[in-house]
Structure 1
Amino acid sequence: MSTAEQAAVPAERWLFLEEVREIYGFPESTLRYWRKIRTGPTAYRVGRRLRYPQSEIESWMHEQAACDPIARSTKNQSAKK
């Protein structure tokens, strides 16, 4: 891949735990618990701090919405009207 092609590819944004809390509203304790039980968005330890790839948070949230029976039933009811 040439330098020009590399510049055209957007860099992945990695968020600190505090940034995930601020942007998405998940409490830090919940994020830490999810990591402990291996559910929730994937976090990686970089040095001493946890980092979350923003794309993985977005993907995880879409998966959760797709699995939510209440959200699906509400969506289906509005489509039938």
Structure 2
Amino acid sequence: MSAAEQAATHAEPWLFLDEVREIYGFSESSLRYWRKTRTGPTAYRVGRRLRYPQSEIESWMREQAARDPIARSTKNQPAKR
């Protein structure tokens, strides 16, 4: 396998806006607002369309969960049986 083929197989997925909505459940208006205010996952314009590196979305989601005291609370964890 050539170096180019190896790089292609390990390439990170870049998602279009509609794919991000479908996979993660964010509304289009939220994604656009977060982009405008620079508070959401980083998006890049490729041609006329926005693309989101999947690792950026997941990293942003982890940061949001770490900042949210309710998400960190043990009260919201399912009871162990």
Normalised by the size of structure 1, how large is the TM-score? 0.81
List gaps (5 residues or longer) in structure 2.
Answer: none
Partner of 1:49: 49
Q: How many residues align?
A: 77
List gaps (5 residues or longer) in structure 1.
Answer: none
Q: CA deviation at 1:72?
A: 1.4
Matched, 1:71 2:75: no
Matched, 1:37 2:50: no
> Percent of aligned positions with the same letter in both sequences?
86
Deviations 1:22-67 (A, max 9, x none): 0000001110010001111000000100000000000000111111
State the 4+ residue runs in structure 1 displaced beyond 2 angstroms: 4-9
2:44 and 2:8 map into 1 onto residues whose CA distance is 26
